[in-house]
């Protein structure tokens, strides 16, 4: 699928570039043979600069759309609209250089591409709005309508710890009830060592997809660090958070591995620093510290009691020391 997508995108790029070069060559050649060029003193160089800039910017927008958009009706409309707009800008630019009053057909044709292109582009943007609404719903558990691509983990395509902290601060500042879960894959370092880094990355990607599909639409999952994920449950109560933690701990066994899951809620008992002067950011940092402390304690407890069986087929009980 990836190869086919790359091939289709390359063909689209080649088609757009080829057609653009053809128009850039054939239209001036036609005007050169059909009419005379203006004298240098007659050329309005300010108009040439502004219309030339519009043409160059339009071509840049077109190349961006062609290079990043997947195939589909919306993409076709955006490309067609921008192509027509660029053609109109280019014809306006040539109008500043050649005397086209003697060419009635050219005068009529020159006025058409820009308005037609903008009309088609507007239709494409309207359909893109509908498309984006669906995409937002698909990514809701990954970003919760706050998109910062530089805060996205390249492996799992989840938001990172910094983005999670932003969402947590926002919820706390609005006095929204939330629950926090942290999930850490057991023996992951040993699994990477035995199975290879590629298999480890594949496992993390699968877990990210599973977590995103398991949670409710209003929840958020992020990759906290390494093999550790953190989850924000909106409108959560202790019983719900506890049940969700148990479900995740049992559900992850489908991937032939186990995980340690801890949870916490904002409350005065768990946050001694929480008072009238405590900011939402400080409270968020304190909550994450509580989660990390609970995770460390749970890991140490499982190692000391030696009750954790080997979660991966390649491990045995001697791997308990590598639980973290």
Show Cβ contacts of residue 138 under 8 Å, excluding neighbours closer than 6 positions: none
Tell how far CA 226 is from the center of its chain: 20
Count of residues making up the chain: 324
Residue linked to tokens 């609970």: 294
For residue 118, the tally of other CB atoms under 10 A from its CB is 15
CB 135 within 8 A of CB 147: no
Backbone angles phi, psi at 161, to 5 degrees: -65, -35
Sheet strands (E) in the chain:
178-185, 220-225, 228-234, 259-264
| C-alpha radius of gyration, the chain, whole number | 29
Torsion of CA 310, 311, 312, 316, to 10 degrees: 0
Nearest-angstrom CA–CA distance, 70 and 90? 27
Burial of 195 (0-12, 13-18, 19+ CB in 10 A): middle
Nearest-angstrom CA–CA distance, 243 and 16? 54
Q: Tell me the domains of the chain and their CATH numbers.
A: 2-138 (no CATH), 142-322 (3.30.70.270)
CB 160 within 8 A of CB 227: no
Nearest to 66 by CA among 122, 19, 10, 125: 10
pLDDT in tens, the chain (324 residues): 344 456 666 666 667 666 666 666 566 656 555 665 666 666 778 888 888 899 899 989 988 888 888 888 998 899 999 988 988 888 888 777 776 666 666 666 778 888 999 999 999 999 999 988 887 777 766 666 667 777 788 888 888 888 889 889 888 888 888 899 999 998 888 888 888 889 999 999 999 999 988 888 888 999 998 899 999 998 888 889 999 999 999 999 998 888 999 998 886 444 444 444 568 888 888 899 999 999 988 888 877 765 545 555 554 555 555 565
Nearest-angstrom CA–CA distance, 177 and 167? 13
Question: DSSP of 71-85, one letter per residue?
Answer: SSHHHHHHHHHHHHH
């Amino acid at each position: 699928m990836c190869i086919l997508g790359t091939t289709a995108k390359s063909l689209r790029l080649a088609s757009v570039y080829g057609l653009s070069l053809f128009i850039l060559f054939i239209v001036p050649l036609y005007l050169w043979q059909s009419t005379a060029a203006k004298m240098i003193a007659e050329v309005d160089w300010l108009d040439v600069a502004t219309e030339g800039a519009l043409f160059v910017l339009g071509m840049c927008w077109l190349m961006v759309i062609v290079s990043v958009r997947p195939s589909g009706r919306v993409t076709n409309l955006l490309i067609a609209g921008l192509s027509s707009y660029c053609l109109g800008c280019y014809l306006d630019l040539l109008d500043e250089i050649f005397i086209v009053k003697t060419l009635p057909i050219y005068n009529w044709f020159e006025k058409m591409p820009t308005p037609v292109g903008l009309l088609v582009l507007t239709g494409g943007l309207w359909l893109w709005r509908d498309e984006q609404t669906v995409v937002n719903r698909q990514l809701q558990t990954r970003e919760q309508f706050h998109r910062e691509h530089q805060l996205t983990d390249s492996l799992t395509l989840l938001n990172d710890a910094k983005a999670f902290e932003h969402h947590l601060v926002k919820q706390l500042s609005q006095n929204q009830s939330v629950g926090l879960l942290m999930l850490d894959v057991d023996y992951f370092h040993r699994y990477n060592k035995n199975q290879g880094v590629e298999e480890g990355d594949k496992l993390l990607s699968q877990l990210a997809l599973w977590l995103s599909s398991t949670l409710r639409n209003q929840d958020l999952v992020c990759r906290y660090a390494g093999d550790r994920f953190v989850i924000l449950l909106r409108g959560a109560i202790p019983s719900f958070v506890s049940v969700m933690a148990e479900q995740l701990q049992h559900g992850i066994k489908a991937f032939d591995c186990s995980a340690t899951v801890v949870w916490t809620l904002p409350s005065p008992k768990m946050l001694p620093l929480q008072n009238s002067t405590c900011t939402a950011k400080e409270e968020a940092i304190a909550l994450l510290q509580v989660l990390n402390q609970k995770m460390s304690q749970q890991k140490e407890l499982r190692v000391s009691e030696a009750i954790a069986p080997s979660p991966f087929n390649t491990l045995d009980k001697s791997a308990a020391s590598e639980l973290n």
